[in-house]
Structure 1
Amino acid sequence: MDLVTLDDVRLAAKDLAGVTVRTPLLPCRWDDQLWVKPESLQPVGSFKLRGATHAVARLEPALRARGVVTHSSGNHGQALAYAARVHGVPCTVVIPEGAPAVKVDRVRALGAEIRLVPPADRLAVAEEIAAEQGRTLIPPFDDRRIIAGQGTIGLEVVEDLPDVDVVLVPVGGGGLASGIATAVKALRPTAKVIGVEPELAADARDSLTAGELRVWEPARTYRTSADGLRTSLSELTLAHLLARLDGIVTVTEDEITAATARLVQQTRLVVEPSGAVAAAARMFHAAGLPAGRTVAVVSGGNVDPAVLAAAATRPDVEG
């Protein structure tokens, strides 16, 4: 399979100028070998803006005029709606029922048309809209342009911490980990890129172990609070992860909750559960991870206010 290259990622970086934020690396006072990269500071609150911006920027004028469509639990939908608005492109977002209301409301506020459907129907409905209306389907992760855009995070990590030893990355559909691993392994071959996912949505772990896709049904993955990580890998992202990821670990719901609370309270970031899983791996599973200077990607901060309030007042747990 033709994998995304470092040159693809560098091309994407050019498309992001003036639209996305170059997020900093923030040191963590509880761990002097840990930095977090807060993609929650992007204008739409997550890393998804990188891939969506690159994908829309690469559309030919005739395709832009017809519009774009995607299926998303919220973060990619917000990102595509934002990128489409920047470029004056009509946008429809198919959202699975059960997605956090805060994410749905923000997609709508960006001017996108919304279709709420059962989780199992999200892709089929998006494909129907693309076929009927001539819109370009821009999936959340199963797309080379999306992977390249997310990979710009890896470029920035190595630029800001050239001697980085470990990069911890949340894994849902695998686009983020695919892109970051592509950039980091090309620029810093000795660094280890480790994926992190919830125990209650550990399909990527199973897929990597088997060497082929293992899909968990929504009834299983929807048990996790990390709603952005409930999707399964695609053949494209699995190929990238098999070639470039150095390992994968899983974290429990209690660990995700504790990591969310620590990030909110001690880094003063707004963090959603999906964005806390990488830090949770470092907090609770450091003994099983490679040693050294570690970056944990905080992938997003589009969190329900009640969840944020609970994290802000939760007693810290040593880990």
Structure 2
Amino acid sequence: MIGITDIEQQAGLITEHVVRTPTLPSPGLSALLGAPVTVKLELLQRTGSFKARGATAKLLSLSEAERAAGVVAVSGGNHGIALAHMAAALDVKATVVMPRSAPTRSVEIVEAAGASLRLTDNMDGAFSLVERLRDEGLTLVHPFDDPLVIAGQGTVGLEFADDADDLTDVLVSVGGGGLIAGVAAALRARRPGVRVWGVETEGAEAMSRALAAGGPVPVALSSVVSTLSAPSVSQLTYDHAAALVTEVLVVSDREAVQGCLDLADHAKVWGEPAAGCLLPAARRVLERVGDDCRLGLVVCGGNATTKDAMAWAGRFGLL
């Protein structure tokens, strides 16, 4: 299990390379949801998502031999962007493997950062190719199954605990579980009474399925939210969620896209569906917890274009 000391150590190491993102009350979301809302704006992080934190933590740990051989990562978008940019900044050669379903902008950003890009037909194929490249000598920077990556992501929770007023419930999006594992570890250490809720979209339910099954299981992926689409969680992230997370809620793709529009209208921020999914889940938390709830939302990323958002909104009849 990742402890608060691990997270504090990574906070000291990565601080020169990442942004301490704003933690702010959101009057617009508070009015929309009918309860006080504080947002942690990780969409303002370098590379547009929290992923820069974990990628940097791993890259800084490499030996000279590992740096020389290069690194490889699999990604639905944000992890690949983060690794490409942070590897370039630290002068490490990077290869990023992505499914063809990854957002076009993500693909373009990875290529522009100078990483070697490999595309596969689906996420399962991407993970398989990464395993082959690792066997060829590249160091894997896993998006979530790595203690250093989780500790790096946990610095989000460390900052949230330090910078926010009193919170009762914090909502965190879940893909492979690295973010919620780190955030939950930090929050439960610094603010033991806070409940941590995970949020997934239908068709990307790796953690909720794992919790129901008693351990990681493969899941069929069909969600439009590629940045949450992990084919399974890891034993490491599952163990953290099982021990530290109150529950993982599942919302529809349509609700997640509506959440993006609500973030723009009411919070004045441009979030991707992986962040938009927090709003419908927050309404469910409020129904369960009641009037004394004080919400914290980790707005995890903003790497979606206006064209993407309009296409999703049109698909779900939200225009």
How high is the TM-score relative to the length of structure 2?
0.91
Match for residue 57 of structure 2 among 54, 57, 67: 54
Q: Please give the root-mean-square deviation of Cα atoms over the aligned residues, in Å.
A: 2.0
Cα distance in 2, alignment partners of residues 62 and 204 from structure 1: 35
Distance apart, 1:289 and its partner CA:
4.6
- Which of 157, 160, 184 is 1:181 aligned to? 184
Once the two structures are superposed, residues 113-132 of structure 1 have per-residue CA deviations (whole angstroms, 9 ceiling, x without a partner) of 00001222112211211222
Aligned length: 308
TM-superposition CA deviations, 1:103-149 (whole Å, max 9, x none): 111111111000001222112211211222x2111111111111000
Residue 233 of structure 1 aligns with which residue? 233
Q: Distance in 2 between matches of 1:309 and 1:265?
A: 14
Matches within 5 A, 1:1-319: 3-29=1-27, 30-31=29-30, 32-119=35-122, 120-132=124-136, 134-217=137-220, 221-222=221-222, 224-231=223-230, 232-283=232-283, 285-289=285-289, 291-309=292-310
Aligned-partner Cα distance in 2 for 1:130–1:177: 26
Q: State the Cα distance separating 1:187 from its structure 2 match.
A: 0.8
Q: Distance in 1 between matches of 2:113 and 2:176?
A: 24
Structure 1: which amino acid aligns with 2:303?
A: N
User: Separation in 2 of the partners of 1:178 and 1:157?
Assistant: 14
Structure 2: gaps spanning 5 or more residues: none
Q: Aligned partners of 2:56 and 2:283: how far apart in 1?
A: 32
Q: Secondary structure at the match of 2:36?
A: strand
Q: Quick one: which amino acid aligns to residue 113 of structure 1? A: S
Give percent identity, aligned residues only.
38
Q: Which amino acid aligns with 1:182?
A: A
* Deviation per residue, 1:154-188 (Å, 9 max, x gap): 10111012522111000110000000001000111
Q: Deviations over 1:18-41 (max 9, x none)?
A: 221111123222415111211111
Moved more, 199-208 or 35-44: 199-208
Deviations 1:83-104 (A, max 9, x none): 1111100000011121111111
Query: Which one-letter code corresponds to 2:127 in the other structure?
Result: L
State the TM-score, normalizing by the size of structure 1.
Answer: 0.91
The answer as to whether partners of 1:271 and 1:308 remain within 8 angstroms in 2 is: no
> 1:312 and 1:256, CA in 2 relative to 1: closer, same or farther beyond 3 A?
closer
Q: 2:23 is matched by which residue type in structure 1?
A: L
Q: Structure 2 vs 1, CA of residues 310 and 25 (structure 1 numbering), >3 Å: closer, same or farther? A: farther
